[in-house]
Amino acid sequence: QLSNDATPNNSRFSESDIHALLAERLQAKFARDFHTADNIQRELVDGGVSVHEGLKEWRADGVVIRGSRGGGDRKADNQQYSKSPHSVDDDGANDSSIDKLVQERTKFKIMRQYDKADEVRERLRTKFNVLVDDRLKQWSVSGDFGEERNAQRELAEKVNSRGFIKSSSSLSLNEEEEEYIRQNVEARVVAKKERDFDTADKIRLDLAQRFDVTIRDN
């Protein structure tokens, strides 16, 4: 059903087209034809439609529902970013230019054009020495977001750089199976770094179905 707070449809689909595609995707999932279901999902997203699995809601007004891959937070991903109070004070001379670039990056993320979003992020870093914190919805000249958040970001970077390790409570498998899992986990990391989220999701699903493997990204 349509989200209660959605504004008028500005996607490339009519409302009847959206319902038809959602019904087709649901049938594909029931048939365990995940390839077709993923293709329909990609078609909807590329056309400007955001679908929330948990809430059974969709919207086509350019707003991406946070948690659309299974979470429960309904806040929009295009929430306005602001300058961090911990940002280096440069008299605000470049604030307008930085805000425009941050908004441009957000637009690319909503459109799932992640390569372009990354290019804008790199331009912010090299031209203005600006880092963006997507969790806080803030940007900062020099990358300072306060002592607590800085520590969290540093820890996250260390965790991400160390790779994945097998949980001590995991059940034992034979050597061949463990090697298969390890290689696929590493392949998934590469796919995510390259923004190939479809491949990353397929690897996760394959490991879950074949070995009941759960991957904790955070």
Contact in structure between 21 and 13 (CB atoms under 8 Å): yes
Across 62-66, 110-114, 144-148, least confident range: 62-66
Tell me what pLDDT residue 69 has.
44
Tell me what pLDDT residue 145 has.
92
Across 22-26, 66-70, 114-118, 174-178, least confident range: 66-70
CA distance 12 to 16: 12
Helix/strand/coil for 34: helix
Query: What type of residue sits at position 163?
Result: G
Contact in structure between 76 and 61 (CB atoms under 8 Å): no
Nearest to 49 by CA among 57, 216, 218: 57
Tally of CB atoms within 10 A around 131: 19
Instruction: Write the pLDDT tens digit of every residue in 36-49.
Output: 888 888 888 878 88
User: What mean pLDDT comes out for the span 132-138?
Assistant: 87
Tell me what pLDDT residue 15 has.
86
Tell me what pLDDT residue 140 has.
94
Query: Is residue 122 predicted with pLDDT exceeding 90?
Result: yes
User: What mean pLDDT comes out for the span 73-87?
Assistant: 69
Q: Are strands 138-141 and 82-83 parallel, antiparallel or unpaired?
A: parallel
